[in-house]
Homo-oligomer: A and B are copies of this chain.
């Protein structure tokens, strides 16, 4: 894991310049080569899992010390630790991305501008992607699958707590690539320190896109400290709106799943909006179910009035509507109309994922048209917002920006397009004459 696999002594600027040069090579590699490389890397992961697990165990040992000292949370530790099964899943996902259709060199449109003058719009890689992520080791194979499959070079910066695992993963993936000699060494490189990140953010001429995966504060920091375009989401304040015409069972299922199935996820619901007409019927049972699941509920005045006696129910304040709890807490508000619900979501939502539960098709249509979010759902849990569930194979992140890519971002979000114009000496001076 030293020598050619080590890039510690090379500055980020040099690695980025090499990535830029490499990206020009990657853009010209045929589909089969990029596909083959991923397949070979997936095999290498499984064959050399012992090395990865050993490295991961070293990271876990240090992490246990940190935990004992109260310097690391158990949830962070859980995300750090991998297993034989975890590695098999990483390999399976790489195979899956390898099988997806080629996202580049697709002719998106062709126009005959004049006799012998043909304009083609063709998809192509963005170039160089920089990604900053926390401890989860499965991020590396997932990100490398997506970037290589789409012909991009990538700079990876993982959490310090996973340094041995990340180094081992990169080394093993490179071993896999070795049998496909067209893949340049610098198709991926690992950065190591926090200073590396700062350096990376300044390299706007070499890096085309930064993907920060981390806290809201970190994403904001990146967006304000770099002129490189950022793909990510600062917050996930998702809502479930239970309409007057909702089916009660569906409302219960969708609301519960959206909150408790995995509350730390960005696509978990933070606020439940309930139409006043259905609230007396639904609220007591729903809040009892939340309480049973250990959820603390912050209710508006009307909610409190309808569900007195619930031990987990507290009064909500204005701040609750704008809070991403990311844990077993939820805010609940009774609204007077569909329009009120839409207005509330457009005011407090983070443009991530919003769901309406209703049997009224017209209400669903209006909600889905007027709510401004990457995902608008009808009778489904907000937790579905995920690249893998969407069939994208994997995701590099979820975007709440409206430009370029929105929602879970897979291969397509890592491409751009260029216009190719084929002429025969055509000039504008004589065009259209």
Q: Which residues of A contact B (CB under 8 A)?
A: 24, 27-28, 111, 113, 117, 119, 126-127, 208-209, 223-224, 227, 229, 247, 249-250, 253-254, 256-257, 261-262, 346, 357, 366, 368-370, 372-381, 383-385, 389-391, 401-404, 406-407, 416-429, 431
Contact = CB atoms under 8 A, between A and B. Distances in A.
A307 to B, nearest CB: 23
A427 B378 contact: no
B376 A419 contact: yes
A425 B127 contact: no
27 contacts: A28-B366, A28-B369, A111-B391, A113-B389, A113-B390, A224-B227, A229-B403, A247-B425, A253-B427, A254-B423, A257-B427, A357-B425, A373-B418, A378-B423, A379-B422, A379-B423, A380-B423, A380-B426, A381-B428, A383-B428, A384-B426, A390-B419, A403-B404, A403-B416, A406-B416, A406-B417, A407-B418
Given A111-B391, A390-B111, A403-B403, A421 B378 contact: yes
B229 A418 contact: no
B424 A376 contact: no
A222 to B, nearest CB: 12
Given A28-B369, A379-B426, 7 more contacts: A24-B372, A126-B403, A229-B403, A247-B425, A357-B425, A381-B426, A390-B419
Contacts of A420: 368, 375-378
A249 B431 contact: no
A127 B370 CA distance: 11
Q: How many copies does the complex hold?
A: 2
Contact of A377 (B257, B261, B390, B423): B423
A110 to B, nearest CB: 11
A370 B428 contact: no
Contacts of A429: 257, 261
The 8 A-B residue pairs whose C-beta atoms are closest, nearest first, are A380-B423, A250-B425, A257-B427, A383-B428, A404-B404, A403-B404, A377-B421, A402-B416
A396 to B, nearest CB: 14
B208 A402 contact: yes
Contacts of A403: 126, 208-209, 229, 403-404, 416
Contacts of A209: 403
